[in-house]
Structure 1
């Protein structure tokens, strides 16, 4: 497991490009809000610490993780941000629902990455237990929201360098 070897909140600030002109959309699932709100807080804090103005962070919520794809598409079309971050949490249960939701949102976000000229960042926790999710939402393994924010900044810089 990758997080056993690296904290999700760890990054070298010197390696993060200037983000002062970025507009970032974040779509956050309401399901498992005790986890997703911590992911959202981590993402917003990391974006602001790295230069994104608070008024350039556009946040919307959708009911669940499966709805993140549609929400991300709508945010991209409506606000034309430089990057879109999706934040969700799916915890394995006793039915195959976990597999369908995880596969659907993974394929959906991958498709959005090929349709738009901006990065869509996958900040979805897919864990076996709620404790594993909490550990990755500001717990012992850091915060996946921070990782998603830094990835958004770096991918926007990647796109800019190609132009």
Structure 2
């Protein structure tokens, strides 16, 4: 393969200011996602003073909070952490879909990257698996993706 110029994000969080937005709904799962995200960012050099946690009622509220935070331009990025678990009604589909669309739209409109750590699972067991057991911790993955995206964006002219 020929050598090509490659732009990659250096996984160094020093000097960044990050907002974590976490839903209170299913907080016994979300707290594990928050813990994973914070641990990852601190291990990669962010100062705890540069992390701010915003607690919101549920996933449906992500878009309005994320947009407000992004428009303030005081954070380099935002990590959304929540868990929507399917029930017996279509409520799950509406909440998960609208939260996802709103988060993505805000990131595109403002240019502020958003780490997507919103679990959308069929069962409680699946959520537990994704919050630090068999399937890893999706809070860590959301923070890692955010950090890499921030550092790549810094190199895009």
Deviations 1:41-61 (A, max 9, x none): 100000000011101111101
Deviations 1:101-134 (A, max 9, x none): 0110111011011111220121100000001001
Residue-pair matches, total: 149
| Structure number, greater radius of gyration | 2
TM-score (norm: length of structure 2): 0.91
Aligned to 1:143: 137
Aligned to 2:97: 103
Instruction: Confirm whether residue 128 of structure 1 aligns to residue 122 of structure 2.
Output: yes
CA contact (8 A) 1:16 1:150 kept: no
TM-score (norm: length of structure 1): 0.87
Pairwise CA distance, 1:75: 2.1
Question: Which structure 1 segments of 5+ residues have no match?
Answer: 1-14
Aligned to 1:54: 48
Deviations 1:64-88 (A, max 9, x none): 0111111112222346200111011
CA contact (8 A) 1:92 1:127 kept: yes
**Structure-to-structure mapping, 1:8-157, within 5 angstroms:** 16-78=10-72, 80-157=74-151
CA contact (8 A) 2:82 2:117 kept: yes
Distance in 2 (CA, whole Å) between partners of 1:53 and 1:36 is 22
Pairwise CA distance, 1:17: 2.3
CA contact (8 A) 1:25 1:76 kept: no
Instruction: Quote the RMSD (CA, aligned, Å).
Output: 1.2
Question: Which structure 2 segments of 5+ residues have no match?
Answer: 1-8
